[in-house]
Structure 1
Amino acid sequence: MIRCPPFPSEPRVRPSRLHAIASRFLLPALIVASLLAGLGLRQPSPPDEPRFVLAARQMVETGQWLLPHRGSELYAEKPPTFMWIQAATYRLLGDWEIAFLLPSLLAALLTLWLVWDLARRLWNRRVARYAVLGLFVCIQFGLMAKRAQIDMVLVGMTTLSLWALLRHLLLGPDWKLLALGAFAAGVGTVTKGVGFLPLLALLPWAAWRWRHPDTRGAGRGWGWWLVLPLFVAGTLVWLAPLGIALLRQSDPALQSYAQELLFKQTGTRYANAWHHHQPFWYYLEVIAAQWLPGSLLLPWLLPAWWRRLRRGDPRYVVLLGWALLVLLFFSASPGKREVYILPMLPALAVAAAPLLPGLLRRTGVRRALLAYVLVLAAVALMAGVGALHGDGWAQRYALKRAIDLAVVPRIGGWLLGFALAAGLLAALLRQRRAGLAVVSTTALLWMMYGLGAMPALDPYSSSSQVMERTRRHIGADAELGMIGWREQNLLQTRPQATDFGFKRPLDAQWRLAAHWVAADPARRWLFVLDDAMSACVDPARVVDIGSANRNHWRLLPGTALDTACVAAGQGHLPAAVAAPNDD
């Protein structure tokens, strides 16, 4: 195999026997167990999970897989790839509570393996283990691995593409891997529009080759002509069936769907975002807070990276150059969300891994990491004690979210247990093994989150409690319609309730609802957002059914609605009620 340069090796630090055993066997098992913890113990929670599962469930139930739906309307904010994966997982397993989370979990495990393999090939196995541990301990990675959002699957696809491209560029040439990288970037693009980002790695590599023209490696070759066609082939996983449908059908709704998704939700969303406006430096705040504890090491990593960049090491040039381009790309858009820069994190973990053995010998680094563990333990201790003893903050939060106060001590017990375990780890491992303390504490954090906190909050965050109360009130033979609804409410209805549009103006929803109710007013009920209530309803017959996710809901029998009043437009309704924005 031809390599670009004879790569310089990093200084080797001989590990202790305990550290070697833990890093080879115990820590990988602990990582997998902590990411698995809680699988199947909760239901989809807002803001994003319910809408994806709702669309996936409708695919399975209707057999209409090409175009995702949110209730009765087409869902045009995201391509259907992620929902296809969830629907296919359900068809395989037959259990939504596992199927909706499994794609993110598998994508996280795939990402960890790709990081390990890339670091192993660029350096050695020991560096590869540090790369995996460095990625795992960053808070945002673990959080997204345990959430059913597109972003973790996107990270899996972008990391696969980057893994293949870097093996070709730095360890090649290997034209099959170049083809795989281009194809994976295309599939990533129709999963979420920024899936093309791994191809930006060609720019820092080209700059390095320009400065080192005599270096042998992935240079000239006919295989470069594969990049664009195979990228396009990856996008055709979805664009081809969509194009065929557009050619065969003249439905205006389908045309509008394609136009919104291909133009408004891509180019317009990037260049002229209509929500999530943040300043240019916003992602520096995200890195500082959500990439803890990795961000604590930046004062040591940045100078070390700079020295290696000045030496012209192509591994650092490509990895860090690509990460910088991704950061600048997202920073240039006025619309920003913290998850957008997550694809950078695996590459930075690989770039940091060779330096970690040396950094962990520094007293300042060890103190910073141990302080992180102690602060986590202290915060959890204060929150847990407050929840167990009826602290005002905990009760106010529970009341604001319509959470049963009896649940608060249960969550407090989990927090207290985590705090005591993290404190014990810090006391046993102390400053000498601060890195091991961080990894173990992170694993405990995600076990507490998956096995304790999220299952306890699930009836309230998923709206299942409100919808169960609704089912009991109307009876098994009644039919339910929904106005001003949220995705989690519709998802929790079985069989699925009748809706009258999600983005449709409220007055139009009420007119459709009135027509639906008039067909059988004795059996039909309406589930209505409090802020969307019509003046054409008899207030004496409205049932206060409860709150969920900071929304208050009302239930009314069909006989309580004056359909003539609605038809005459006398309800004095707002045009719309704000709905949660898509990421």
Structure 2
Amino acid sequence: MKDLKAYFFPRHYPALRDILILVILFGGAFFLFLGNAGLIEPDEGRYAEIPREMLERGDFVTPMLNYVAYFEKPPLHYWLNALSFKLFGLNEFAARFAGALAGLLTVLLVYHTGRKLFGRREGLFSAFILGTSTGFIAQSRINLTDMTLTLCLSAALCCFIIAADDQERHKGRYYYALYLFSALAVLAKGLVGLLFPAGIIVIYLATTRRWHLLKEMRLPGGSALFLAVVAPWFVLVSARNPAFARFFFIHEHLERFLTTVHDRYQPFWFFIPILLLTMFPWSLYGVRAIARAWGERRSRNGERLLFLLVWAAFIFLFFSASHSKLIPYILPVFPPLALLTGKMFSDLMDGEEQQQAFGPEKALLGALLAVMAVLAIIYPHVRELAPVLTGSGLVRPGGSLVTKPPLLSPLGGVVVACLTLSMGAAVWLAGRKRSLLILFAGLCLGSYFLETMGLQLFLEGIEFKKSSKELALLGRQATSHGGCLVSFGYEQSLPFYAGKRVVVVGGRGELEFGSRQGDQTAWFVEETDFLRLWQGEQPVAALIKRADYERIAPRLVPAPSVLGTKGKKMLICNRSAAGGPLPSGTQSAFVKRRSADGEGVAGDAR
């Protein structure tokens, strides 16, 4: 306890030393085992293949996926991944490195901002809260554009509120950084990179009546910097691709927000439970932090608290109103909530207020942790308990919970339960000792190990269901001496692992736009065309779902050889390579995966 106080409580601890400690501590959480799992479908395969093709073609202006134009996102994340591939090679670690680094940098950014706005301890608490929010870490370790956006957008908004301080000596630097990071946010995810900073700042200026800040915001020079960073790519890609502007600005912005064209509709309240779950274990305290900040909006730090509230509310309500919702969209809300929660914890550490602090939250959190521990033990055995669960009405008969293999092994369930109970013990001990510092440190430590160990235990099951790495490598080997690699429905990671273009049979998904640019008829075919291709002279290897295989197998002549299966997917071939035996390792060496589930085998792609 004395050591914790000696570190957390001093107000004038060197900032560089704090940053070094944060990098060492959270470097493990963000980067440990980062490359262990195969790329998860669909996003990771997509955002790895696009930069791989950029490097192969030497074209960093026109993003292409499976060698057709792909304009759903701007190129910043692709550029970062391409640089990572150059540094670390074409592998899973490199594919996830940019996102993990963006997550770690966001933690450091929150520390710096909290320290500048409120003080050293507030910044430190805020950084620890963000870095131990389980959903933030989990999504940082996935190859997504949203974490790159979160870093750029958060940096822009943090620079503004720091520059808005009348005592800030480096106003010019922070204001110009605002424009720079806003431009990078546009290059990361599109017009939200401009809309969010502009909307949040205008609402803040209107509610605080600080319109005079417009005079010091370096609008002419900042606007020129913004355009200098943003304009070149948009001009070049539009010049080379006349269809870009309509697709990107109308289809990917207006139609995505106003319609269900992307088939991602969720109810307005969708992000409420998502935020509570992904910010665990701090979400319960975040609710009180929001209420506390609102009550203190007229205090000495009230305008800064109000800015953080506007930041979180604007983005939350914007995406809640959108007709296209995905879980990662909520990531830019985490930094302001972490700052609000970190300041609240710091304020309550002083004086006698901490003796009565968080009574309801501690009781509810303790109960939730106990329930989570029990569920972690039961979940790996849920299929064995199916008759009891369905008979009692707790689970719908035939539901995925009782029909699909669990993501967690029995041993993994025990480990997760122990980690969860350790957090519950910290909550109990904090209540017994009436110490907020024990509560804070215990939740940080428990959540840290839940992130570094618990998430990895779930990842094996997720990889088995969502990664086609082994089958893709088998396909690459089977067609290495010539031949055609086919995907029934587009499998995003297949061309990445195969290092070549694939023929897509049936649904084109996100490749619909690109498939209509130029003559792509040889690469996007229907089943009748595939059957003719299968009967041709060249070897054909096809990645296909088991249900599609059972439907089409009677029409496949010659009869297919099954090179490997994984979950519900299979890799089949029409003949041995060059008329001889199948390539070594594709037929004879099979390894059982999750054999207890009976979900299939995967070939050993050596």
Query: TM-score, structure 1 length as denominator?
Result: 0.79
The answer to whether 1:521 aligns with 2:519 is: no
Relative to 1, partners in 2 of residues 1:535 and 1:42: Cα closer, same or farther, differing over 3 Å? closer
The answer to whether 1:49 aligns with 2:44 is: yes
Further displaced range: 78-87 or 311-320? 311-320
SS of the residue 1:100 aligns to: helix
- Structure 1 contact 272–334 (Cα < 8 Å) conserved: yes
User: Which structure is richer in relative contact order (CA contacts within 8 A, separation 6 or more)?
Assistant: 1
- Structure 1 contact 72–499 (Cα < 8 Å) conserved: no
- Structure 1 contact 71–490 (Cα < 8 Å) conserved: no
2:413 maps to 415
The answer to whether 1:437 aligns with 2:435 is: no
Relative to 1, partners in 2 of residues 1:34 and 1:483: Cα closer, same or farther, differing over 3 Å? closer
1:315 maps to 304
Further displaced range: 181-190 or 225-234? 225-234
SS of the residue 1:255 aligns to: coil
The answer to whether 1:269 aligns with 2:269 is: no
**Once the 2 structures are TM-superposed, how far is the Cα of residue 449 of structure 1 from its aligned partner?**
4.2
The answer to whether 1:542 aligns with 2:560 is: yes
Residues 293-328 of structure 1 show CA distances to partners (whole Å, capped at 9, x for unaligned) of 232124532431221124472101211122222222
1:285 maps to 273
**Once the 2 structures are TM-superposed, how far is the Cα of residue 174 of structure 1 from its aligned partner?**
1.1
Residues 207-237 of structure 1 show CA distances to partners (whole Å, capped at 9, x for unaligned) of 2442x68xxx845247223343333333225
Q: 1:179 aligns with which of 168, 176, 179?
A: 176
**Once the 2 structures are TM-superposed, how far is the Cα of residue 451 of structure 1 from its aligned partner?**
4.2
- Structure 1 contact 287–295 (Cα < 8 Å) conserved: yes
**Once the 2 structures are TM-superposed, how far is the Cα of residue 88 of structure 1 from its aligned partner?**
1.0
User: Kindly, what percent of the aligned residue pairs are identical?
Assistant: 20
Q: Over aligned residues, Cα RMSD in angstroms?
A: 3.7
Further displaced range: 89-98 or 20-29? 20-29
2:160 maps to 165
The answer to whether 1:466 aligns with 2:471 is: yes
Distance 2:278 2:529 in 1: 45
**Residue pairs, 1:124-523, within 5 angstroms:** 124-171=119-166, 172=168, 174-193=171-190, 194-196=192-194, 197-210=196-209, 218=213, 220-221=215-216, 223-236=218-231, 238-243=233-238, 245-246=239-240, 254-274=241-261, 275-311=263-299, 313-358=302-347, 361=354, 362=357, 363-383=359-379, 386=381, 411-424=409-422, 426-427=424-425, 430-432=428-430, 433-449=438-454, 451-455=456-460, 458=463, 460-468=465-473, 470=475, 474=478, 477=481, 479-488=483-492, 490-491=494-495, 493-500=497-504, 502=508, 503=512, 508-510=525-527, 521-523=537-539
AA paired with 2:486?
A: M
- Structure 1 contact 120–126 (Cα < 8 Å) conserved: yes
**Once the 2 structures are TM-superposed, how far is the Cα of residue 558 of structure 1 from its aligned partner?**
10
Distance 2:39 2:490 in 1: 12
**Once the 2 structures are TM-superposed, how far is the Cα of residue 125 of structure 1 from its aligned partner?**
0.7
Distance 2:141 2:464 in 1: 18
Residues 305-358 of structure 1 show CA distances to partners (whole Å, capped at 9, x for unaligned) of 221124472101211122222222222322222222221210121122221135
- Count of paired positions: 524
**Once the 2 structures are TM-superposed, how far is the Cα of residue 123 of structure 1 from its aligned partner?**
0.9
Distance 2:429 2:541 in 1: 62
- Structure 2 contact 483–540 (Cα < 8 Å) conserved: yes
**Residue pairs, 1:549-568, within 5 angstroms:** 550=568, 554-557=572-575
Unaligned runs of 5+ in 2: 10-17, 390-398, 431-437, 516-520, 578-606
- Structure 2 contact 490–504 (Cα < 8 Å) conserved: no
SS of the residue 2:50 aligns to: helix
Distance 1:118 1:296 in 2: 23
Distance 2:403 2:565 in 1: 9
Residues 352-399 of structure 1 show CA distances to partners (whole Å, capped at 9, x for unaligned) of 222113557313333344444434333323335x38x976699x9799
Further displaced range: 151-160 or 430-439? 430-439
Relative to 1, partners in 2 of residues 1:414 and 1:20: Cα closer, same or farther, differing over 3 Å? farther
Relative to 1, partners in 2 of residues 1:59 and 1:400: Cα closer, same or farther, differing over 3 Å? farther
SS of the residue 1:521 aligns to: coil
1:96 maps to 91
**Once the 2 structures are TM-superposed, how far is the Cα of residue 510 of structure 1 from its aligned partner?**
5.0
Distance 1:380 1:468 in 2: 34
Relative to 1, partners in 2 of residues 1:69 and 1:377: Cα closer, same or farther, differing over 3 Å? same
Relative to 1, partners in 2 of residues 1:29 and 1:400: Cα closer, same or farther, differing over 3 Å? farther
